[in-house]
């Protein structure tokens, strides 16, 4: 919902990025979500991340499905095109859009209902297809917009506001993405902007599919005692394992980290992610190990957060595999697409 | 069909049917014969009746040699090449009185002797082949070529033409060329040495196929997409639409890969299902590429939700529905025109979609191009309603032509300069009074950015739950459909147009109807025929319906779906419309049309066809 | 509406509208007032206009006090309780001349002074509440109860009735009871002390609600499913159908759980999406349970493929489509009747489905039961086409009654004994000449086992690709639809039936049309009204269409979908049908119907309504 | 396709099971698959397994989607009801059918296309819902019925018959099921009937969702050089890790296995599975360990086969969770379902 537009007059003293734009210029329409909704913190992180990346607004494409979470795309960077599609089917829209123009930056925002129930098939396959995009799930364990039914990420034993207890096992998007071979898998918490912003930036710059599962509490339907997706529970049980700093291309790395503690990962476009392991036992570059670590922690009711797995080498991004032309498909002059009358006349011989 | 069925000496006018087991490679033998006749200048059609199975079930191929150039299925068989023991009995029954049965006499077939009114031609095919070739698979394949040789001799097909075809196929594989040539001669020589040949039904050189090709509709449509400049194809495999994407891919590999870099100017996405396939098309089209998806009935059902989004959010989208027999999984390898209503009104809520009805492969090519122009001009989903008969069978068509002056109609897409010149960009405003709004593409300009949604929106592109604002957009969408009537292709009129009786039809019924017109004419019954090429119906359709007192609506489904669409979407009185329906799964043929029209006209004399 | 709009002293006949912000708990205050009036014996309706949002956006509630017992939305507002600053301007505009505006005068609202033709009633609600209560959330909630107190005083609502209602709600929570009672008195007393009350528009005890209840359609339908003996419910949440499953679940928890063992005689499956939900229903029904799924437009679109399977494989299936505004996501919290065509012809290929059209919650209850009987008797999907207005709003209805003699019609299901008595069981054979075959349930008997498929099958249940065999089944399916006309509920006729002008309509238009009939009658225009309750249309519908020269088809969508269905599926001449359409998303009201009929009759005098 | 019925005259000397039925009586219609198709071996294994279990034919329910593989259900036990539904949506039919009557035995047969592409969403959720059924995937890496397109289980680098190379990573149903918490996960090979039959029997008796991924080569479209799903390749690369013997309830365990080598697992109905570890490092009862083992072997191009994971204790089967009545829902007398007029009259008070 975006019919209330905020005034965008930039205050002269607000800090600007390298494009000369202020943070205000990365905002979108006024949020119509509940006061305190986790999703609005994601909006704020998106604004910060795009501003920090000096993202040209029109170079960004925002995609979503249906749900409170899917409304998020209306609330940041109003200078970029947004596509609020149908429930659970954003990945196909994203795949098609990306196929048509590989030069833009694609951010998809979804919910746990949108991604893990009705959208499960498409989520799995957009991961497999390795479409170059950031896919962010605002995970609150419930269907917010339809008033609080359990979603597929709800934990066993968690209590609904109306008292029901959930008895089905949760689907964890992080384990799923690891199993499916995703090359950028992260988890964060809407309440931890410091952690979330560089993850978003790194995800946007990763050359392939990047998943961030953001625990994003629903204050209206899932923030009570007995819920495992409430602010309180999440804050207590979230377990940062790898901190990530994002360093844009132009920038020199200022701080020297002691060897072994920090792992710098170079991204496709020359920017870098500096990983700092908070748990020395953890290795984010080993997918199998990452899987085990997460799973064990989950058994102990701990959500591991941070950049859980990254693999920049394994470059199987969609266009690379397809050997698509460098020029966006939607911009190739017609003359180069249509073989013309001479070729057609020649081809006819095949059919005689 | 017109006059000659009883005639004994039928040059260039007869039907050969091959009964076989699928997965045994009979297709190449059948098309060898067909192509050879075609190259002799004699019009042919080929219809393939194959099972929904990979190997081991009965399959048939029917070649109609038709000097008049009829495109429809004939409803009789003159020569049956009965190579499948399992269906012998049925196959013999199908043969017309006076016809010829060719069978493999390696094993005795007592059942064959049961009909006295046919000529049985025995050729010990297996024996001949086994004596001359080794290897199980090889023998099976070459037996097919051997019966092609038999037919060549019986029908007087030019051996030099066949040899040329074989050389073209196997030119680079001399061993294969040799064995095929030898197998062909085995059959040919056996006939020449042991039987009277040629038959009274035979082929003679003509000059009627020059400037023509034999092509199937899916190949032509795939080629059309290449010529239209489509760059993104998304699909999920489904019979009978699969070969459309195969063709697109094949042509792209040929025409769209940079010789030096290997870079591809196209992307084909094999989606996880049809919901995803159409989602990809919407995403790509929204983002400025020409994109399409081929599918069939079950796919259309699955695409319903997204089609509604395309309609309401006004996103171009091209869908090829190569129709097969429904409902449900139905008969996937049989033909029907059963998706007319679901395509016209797909998705919940008030929706209405543009349909194109190609009648043959040639039109599949041209209409593919038109579909993209229409989708982008009108900013809405456009369906090309082909069917299995058109899509997968080989039809004789005039050479496809391309006008190099063609420029795609990308519709109202604003450039950066145009956006900069606006005070403010509003996505859904009717600036030109034609009910088509302007759109912008991602990446162009922050000023032109807008938010696309399938939820309630006003003409400025903002979210709304306000009744009046909602209705402004919905009413414009309705008007846009009126605008569409000006852009869609006009119908084709056959006949003087001044008869009181008319036929209205679409798509692959065309061949049968044209043939029926000839027969009716011989019987002094003159009727006009209007072939509709698109929905919405334009004024020419209205005029025809108005000016004819009795109208036969010919279509291939049970529920008279085209008649329903005419009833709802034109001013025609219902009482004027009479249905002629064919929904057996086989392509419609001329006979039943003639019979039904005659019967109807006889039963109600007031309907008698007279010039007005 | 009939006559009284201009009348100053309007006892038990006026409209109060509450403008609020959603998520602030105003619902309980609004329904407190409504229920109190209802208990005073005065008919009321309540319409909720809420946003597709959880908290913070404008929301409205409209109570119509209607001594005549009209069920439709009124098209004017007499009293506006304007509690939302954001919509003040709009809300004031909506008030009729001579109406009353109640607002919270804690903060000055200069804009209020702009209309001289209304009476402004200022009550410092926030101030009163803040002085008396603590806590932000608490104050917000109690402010609502305070305005209920204001209204009670202004409208002369019986305080003892309100107190009783509060006690029933909060009886077990004395603290809440106390604060609510106090808040109510704050508003009540303020009016009594500072303002003239009651208003000329006010409530007086009547006796017209005895034997009646206030209930919404989804609750009634959910209850109907319990009474019908449905044991499996599968669904995916979607507004406005969600509360139907909530109700079913709630009633099952109450009536279907074994007190001792805790065992449940039902299963509710929250599916992963609508495709799965309807698949579950088909699976459960095929296996002999009564099963159903509630959904809305987007869900119907997604169910298309499976619906075709249900039709062709002849599996019972009950689908409640609580319609909302389309196309696409549309306006999820607004009402429409836009899914008529997609439900009637859902899925590719030749299909046709049974539809029921409840007009109010009472019928939702009874038709839920009928839907199961029809689905099992006819072995096919049956749709109950409710809508948001019926499903989610509170309607006054006669008490629901149950006949304990009712036995479910399980249709032609063979028992083990019956199967054993057969020579051989054939699934799709028309043994009784009513086009309905017999079925067997898994687990019954190996002899009765058969293979269910959506691919081509013959009447014996075997796979087929044979044209004739395929057509036998398809033709029988068409005949089965004729059989269905004998089982579906008959239409309701209002009027003598001998007028030349008629109205035909369905579902939730009923209230508005009945009201319109009264108004027309006052204007000496007498018309007949036929409310259709089901598709296929039975002979009574045909007869009405035949016997009326001019027929207005009233429905709530843009594209005249009911009219389309009548045009296609009856013998009616198109020229007799005139559409009256409402597709604003708000429930239809009587006014436009009256106006359009009068205008039409005036414009074409030959249409003038006369008894035949 | 089942229009050709085989004669079912039992030869008197054929061995019978405890119901007095011969193997022939567990057959179905004549197969119409290609000669040599792996799927027909699965058919044979199903016949053997059902005969061995002395399955009452009408107590079995056979469910499938669309594909060559999905036709399998027509080819065994013609005395049981079969439901050949639509492509990829069999799990929902199975869930509904099972909800209606918990007392029957449900076997679903699907293909890799049917399950892992169009059916991915439903597969994931039927696992999560833990419907009591055996779900068997006849996995051949291609869409057989539509003539040989790559499926989502095709390995990277595998070659299509027409020469194309697959470039997308495969989805492994076994890893997926483990990630989703399935309590019975097995893999086998259509060419190894000895291994497959007891797995099917155990899967049918497992009280909950049981997945068997059967590598089942497509001789027509995927049995050539360069395919990783050919008979040759599979035979070379399949790696039996745990052999399972199925011991019906009535039967005593005859052989004594040396301690540590054999793990007996008791199933719900009193029957047992005796697991023999062929690789001592392998523990089929530890889900995490199983996952790692499989994944590591997969990296080495080895398909681990056998009963990969079983957990009989974790009883979260659908009806248990739902607390459904023991009597099948479709058989409860109407009187117990409909509350009657008195209750209704009473209920009316709530709505005044
Ligand atoms: C096809 C379809 N089915 C159902 C719905 C109703 N619906 C809207 S949002 C939603 C769930 C949203 O949950 P989630 O994605 O977790 O988002 P949240 O609101 O929790 O942020 C549902 C079921 C719909 N819009 N479309
Ligand atoms: C909705 C829909 N889309 C597409 C098809 C066409 N189709 C039939 S089977 C099949 C793939 C089967 O592959 P798989 O499940 O792997 O079975 P296999 O034939 O390989 O055993 C497809 C795409 C269909 N029947 N329905
Ligand atoms: S309902 Fe929950 S998820 Fe939706 S906006 Fe409110 S807090 Fe956020
Ligand atoms: S095509 Fe492949 S999967 Fe299908 S029957 Fe033949 S061998 Fe089996
Ligand atoms: Mg959610
Ligand atoms: Mg397969």
Inform me whether the pLDDT recorded for C152 exceeds 90: yes
pLDDT above 90 covers what percent of chain D? 76
> Which of D86, D47, D36 is CA-nearest to residue D216?
D36
Instruction: Report chain A's mean pLDDT, rounded to a whole number.
Output: 92
Instruction: Report chain C's mean pLDDT, rounded to a whole number.
Output: 95
Inform me whether the pLDDT recorded for C447 exceeds 90: yes
- Other chains touching B, judged by 3 or more CB pairs under 8 Å: A, C, D
Q: Give the separation between CA C330 and CA B311, rounded to whole angstroms.
A: 12
pLDDT of residue D163: 85
pLDDT of residue C109: 75
pLDDT of residue A69: 98
pLDDT above 70 covers what percent of chain B? 96
Inform me whether the pLDDT recorded for B608 exceeds 60: no
Inform me whether the pLDDT recorded for C30 exceeds 50: yes
From atom 8 of ligand 3, which residue's Cα is the shortest distance away?
A: A37
Residue ranges near ligand 6 (ion) with Cβ within 5 Å? D 111-113, 140
From atom 6 of ligand 4, which residue's Cα is the shortest distance away?
A: D34
Rg (CA), chain B: 27
Of D117, D121, D179, the CB nearest to A179: D179
Angle between helices A90-100 and B274-286 (to 10 degrees): 50
Q: Verify whether ligand 1 is closer than 6 Å to residue A146 (CB atom).
A: yes
- Residue that has been written with the tokens 């607390």 in this structure: D323
Q: Give the separation between CA C159 and CA D105, rounded to whole angstroms.
A: 62
Q: Phi/psi of residue D287, each to 5°? A: -60, -45
Could you give the domains of chain B?
Answer: 13-194 (3.40.920.10), 215-398 (3.40.50.970), 416-487 (no CATH), 492-607 (3.40.50.920)
Q: Verify whether ligand 3 is closer than 6 Å to residue A52 (CB atom).
A: no
ipTM over 0.95: yes
DSSP element (H, E) containing C122: strand C119-123
Flag if D128 and A291 touch (Cβ within 8 Å): no
Inform me whether the pLDDT recorded for A1 exceeds 80: no
DSSP element (H, E) containing C366: helix C361-378
Flag if B287 and A79 touch (Cβ within 8 Å): no
Inform me whether the pLDDT recorded for B280 exceeds 90: yes
Q: Give the separation between CA D95 and CA D91, rounded to whole angstroms.
A: 6
Give the length of chain C. 612
pLDDT of residue C510: 98
pLDDT of residue D315: 72
- The verdict on A145 touching C (C-beta cutoff 8 Å) is yes
Q: Average the pLDDT over D259-282 and give the result.
A: 82
Ligand 1, pocket-test mutation among A36, A41, A68, A87, most atoms within 8 A of CB: A87
Q: Average the pLDDT over C210-227 and give the result.
A: 98
Q: Average the pLDDT over A237-247 and give the result.
A: 90
Inform me whether the pLDDT recorded for C5 exceeds 50: no
Q: Give the separation between CA D332 and CA D40, rounded to whole angstroms.
A: 39
pLDDT of residue B610: 53
Inform me whether the pLDDT recorded for D5 exceeds 90: no
Q: Give the separation between CA B574 and CA A74, rounded to whole angstroms.
A: 49
Inform me whether the pLDDT recorded for A328 exceeds 80: yes
- Other chains touching D, judged by 3 or more CB pairs under 8 Å: A, B, C
Q: Give the separation between CA C496 and CA C510, rounded to whole angstroms.
A: 17
Flag if B312 and C327 touch (Cβ within 8 Å): yes
pLDDT of residue C610: 53
Flag if C326 and B304 touch (Cβ within 8 Å): no
Strand order of the β-sheet with C528-532 is: C492-494, C528-532, C501-506, C550-555, C577-581
pTM across the whole model: 0.97
Flag if A99 and B283 touch (Cβ within 8 Å): yes
pLDDT of residue B6: 47
Inform me whether the pLDDT recorded for B3 exceeds 50: no
Inform me whether the pLDDT recorded for B609 exceeds 60: no
Ligand 2, pocket-test mutation among B235, B237, B244, B302, most atoms within 8 A of CB: B237
Instruction: Please report the residues numbered 281 through 320 in chain D whose beta carbons come closer than 8 angstroms to any beta carbon of chain C.
Output: 319
Inform me whether the pLDDT recorded for B293 exceeds 50: yes
* Per-residue pLDDT reduced to its tens digit, C6-15: 455 689 999 9
Q: Where are any strands of DSSP class E within A218-350?
A: 238-247, 262-266, 272-277, 303-310
Instruction: Report chain B's mean pLDDT, rounded to a whole number.
Output: 95
B299 CA closest ligand 2 atom index: 1
pLDDT of residue D278: 83
* Per-residue pLDDT reduced to its tens digit, C44-102: 999 999 999 999 999 999 999 999 999 999 999 999 999 999 999 999 999 999 999 99
Nearest CA in chain D to C219: D351
pLDDT of residue D1: 34
pLDDT of residue B325: 98
Residues in chain C whose Cβ is within 8 Å of chain A: 23, 51-57, 236-239, 242, 270, 272-274, 298, 328-329
Inform me whether the pLDDT recorded for C538 exceeds 60: yes
Of D152, D181, D296, the CB nearest to A169: D181
Inform me whether the pLDDT recorded for B4 exceeds 50: no
Q: Average the pLDDT over C141-161 and give the result.
A: 96
Chain B residues near residue D220 by CB distance under 8 angstroms? 23, 54-55
Q: Please name the residue ranges forming H helices in B98-173.
A: 125-132, 136-155, 159-170
Inform me whether the pLDDT recorded for D257 exceeds 70: no
Nearest CA in chain B to A120: B272
Q: Verify whether ligand 1 is closer than 6 Å to residue A66 (CB atom).
A: yes
C302 CA closest ligand 1 atom index: 1
Q: Give the separation between CA B198 and CA B210, rounded to whole angstroms.
A: 25
Dihedral of CA atoms D193, D198, D199, D200 in degrees, nearest 10, equals 90
Q: Average the pLDDT over C487-509 and give the result.
A: 97
Give the length of chain A. 352
Q: Verify whether ligand 2 is closer than 6 Å to residue B302 (CB atom).
A: yes
DSSP element (H, E) containing A214: strand A209-215
Q: Verify whether ligand 1 is closer than 6 Å to residue A296 (CB atom).
A: no
Residues in chain B whose Cβ is within 8 Å of chain D: 23, 51-57, 236-239, 242, 270, 272-274, 298, 328-329
Q: Which of C501-510, C599-608, D116-125 has the lowest mean pLDDT?
A: C599-608
* Per-residue pLDDT reduced to its tens digit, A142-184: 999 999 999 999 999 899 988 889 988 999 999 999 999 999 9
Flag if D125 and A120 touch (Cβ within 8 Å): yes
Could you give the domains of chain D?
Answer: 23-336 (3.40.50.970)
* Per-residue pLDDT reduced to its tens digit, A250-309: 666 555 555 556 788 888 888 989 888 888 888 898 999 999 999 999 988 899 999 999
Q: How many CB atoms lie within 10 A of CB C85?
A: 14
Ligand 3, pocket-test mutation among A31, A68, A142, most atoms within 8 A of CB: A68
A140 CA closest ligand 3 atom index: 3
Inform me whether the pLDDT recorded for C252 exceeds 90: yes
Cis omega before residue C240 (within 30°)?
yes
From atom 1 of ligand 4, which residue's Cα is the shortest distance away?
A: D144
Cis omega before residue C24 (within 30°)?
no
pLDDT of residue A260: 56
């Amino acid at each position: 919902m975006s019919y209330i537009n905020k005034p965008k007059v930039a205050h002269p003293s607000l800090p600007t990025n390298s494009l000369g734009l202020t943070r205000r210029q990365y905002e979108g329409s006024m949020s119509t979500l509940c006061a305190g909704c986790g999703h609005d913190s994601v909006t704020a992180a998106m604004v910060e991340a795009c501003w920090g990346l000096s993202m040209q607004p029109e170079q960004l494409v925002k995609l979503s499905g249906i749900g409170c979470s899917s409304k998020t795309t209306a609330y940041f960077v109003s200078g970029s095109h947004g596509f609020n599609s149908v429930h659970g089917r954003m990945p196909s829209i994203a795949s098609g859009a990306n196929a048509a123009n590989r030069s833009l930056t694609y951010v998809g925002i979804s919910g746990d209902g949108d991604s893990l129930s009705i959208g499960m098939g498409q989520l799995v396959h957009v991961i497999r297809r390795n479409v170059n995009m950031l896919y962010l799930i605002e995970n609150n364990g419930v269907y917010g917009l339809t008033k609080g039914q359990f979603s597929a990420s709800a934990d066993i034993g968690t209590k609904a506001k109306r008292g029901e207890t959930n008895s089905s096992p949760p689907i964890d998007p992080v384990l799923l993405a690891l199993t499916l071979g995703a090359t950028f898998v992260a988890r964060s918490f809407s309440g931890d902007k410091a952690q979330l912003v560089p993850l978003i930036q790194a995800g946007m710059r990763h050359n392939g599919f990047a998943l961030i599962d953001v625990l994003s509490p629903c204050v209206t339907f899932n923030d009570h005692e007995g819920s495992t997706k409430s602010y309180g529970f999440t804050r207590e049980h979230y377990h940062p394992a790898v901190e990530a700093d994002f360093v844009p291309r132009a920038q020199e790395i200022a701080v020297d980290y002691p060897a072994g503690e920090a792992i710098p990962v170079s991204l496709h476009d020359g920017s870098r992610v500096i990983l700092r392991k908070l748990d020395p036992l953890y290795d984010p570059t080993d997918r199998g190990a990452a899987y085990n670590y997460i799973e064990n922690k989950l058994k102990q009711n701990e959500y591991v957060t941070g950049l859980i797995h990254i693999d920049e080498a394994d470059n199987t991004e969609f266009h690379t595999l397809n050997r698509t032309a460098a020029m966006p498909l939607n911009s190739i002059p017609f003359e180069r697409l249509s073989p013309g009358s001479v070729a057609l006349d020649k081809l006819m011989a095949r059919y005689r | 069909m017109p006059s000659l069925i009883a005639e004994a000496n039928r040059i260039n006018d007869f039907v050969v049917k091959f009964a076989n087991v699928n997965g045994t490679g009979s297709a190449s033998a059948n098309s060898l014969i067909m192509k050879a006749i075609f190259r002799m200048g004699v019009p042919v059609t080929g219809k393939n009746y194959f099972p929904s199975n990979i190997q081991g079930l009965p399959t048939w191929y029917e070649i109609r040699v038709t000097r008049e150039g009829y495109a429809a299925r004939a409803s009789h068989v003159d020569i049956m090449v009965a190579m499948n023991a399992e269906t012998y009995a049925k196959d013999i029954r199908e043969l017309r009185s006076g016809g010829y049965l060719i069978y493999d006499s390696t094993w005795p077939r007592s059942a064959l002797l049961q009909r006295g009114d046919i000529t049985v031609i025995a050729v010990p095919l297996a024996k001949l082949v086994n004596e001359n070739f080794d290897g199980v698979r090889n023998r099976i394949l070459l037996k097919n070529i051997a019966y092609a040789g038999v037919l060549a001799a019986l029908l007087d097909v030019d051996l030099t033409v066949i040899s040329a075809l074989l050389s073209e196929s196997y030119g680079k594989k001399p061993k294969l060329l040799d064995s095929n040539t030898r197998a062909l001669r085995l059959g040919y020589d056996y006939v020449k040495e042991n039987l009277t040949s040629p038959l009274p039904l035979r082929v003679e050189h003509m000059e009627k196929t020059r400037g023509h090709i034999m092509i199937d509709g899916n190949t032509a449509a795939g080629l059309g997409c290449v010529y239209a400049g489509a760059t993104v194809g998304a699909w999920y495999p489904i019979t009978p639409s699969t070969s459309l994407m195969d063709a697109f891919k094949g042509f792209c590999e040929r025409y769209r890969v940079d010789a030096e870099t290997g870079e591809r100017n196209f992307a084909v996405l094999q989606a996880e299902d049809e919901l995803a396939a159409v989602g990809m098309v919407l995403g790509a089209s929204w983002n400025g590429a020409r994109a399409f998806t081929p599918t069939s009935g079950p796919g259309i059902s699955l695409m319903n939700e997204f089609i509604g989004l395309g309609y309401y959010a006004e996103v171009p989208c091209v869908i090829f529905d190569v129709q097969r027999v429904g409902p449900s999984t139905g008969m996937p390898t049989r033909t029907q025109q059963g998706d007319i209503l679901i395509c016209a009104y797909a998705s919940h809520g008030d929706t209405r979609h543009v349909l194109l009805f190609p009648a043959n492969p040639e039109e599949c090519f041209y209409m593919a191009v038109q579909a993209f122009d229409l989708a982008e001009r009108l900013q809405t989903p456009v369906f090309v309603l082909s069917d299995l008969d058109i899509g997968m069978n080989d039809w004789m068509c005039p050479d496809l032509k391309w006008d190099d002056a063609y420029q795609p109609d990308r519709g109202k897409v604003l450039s950066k300069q145009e956006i900069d010149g606006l005070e403010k960009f509003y996505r859904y405003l009717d600036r030109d009074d034609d009910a088509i709004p302007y759109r912008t593409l991602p990446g162009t300009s922050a000023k032109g950015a807008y938010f696309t949604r399938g939820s309630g929106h006003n003409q400025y592109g903002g979210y709304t739950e306000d009744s009046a604002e909602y209705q402004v957009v919905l009413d414009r969408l309705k008007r846009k459909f009126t605008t569409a009537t000006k852009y869609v292709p006009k119908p084709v009129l056959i006949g003087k147009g001044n008869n009181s009786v008319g036929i209205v039809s679409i798509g692959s019924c065309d061949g049968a109807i044209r043939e029926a017109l000839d027969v009716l004419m011989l019987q002094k019954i003159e009727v006009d025929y209007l072939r509709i090429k698109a929905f919405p119906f334009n004024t020419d359709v209205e005029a025809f319906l108005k000016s004819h007192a009795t109208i036969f609506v010919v279509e291939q489904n049970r529920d008279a779906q085209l008649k329903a669409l005419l009833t709802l979407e034109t001013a025609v009185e219902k009482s004027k419309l009479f249905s002629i329906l064919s929904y057996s799964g086989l392509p419609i043929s001329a006979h039943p049309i003639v019979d039904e029209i005659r019967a109807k006209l006889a039963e109600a004399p007031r309907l008698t066809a007279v010039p007005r």
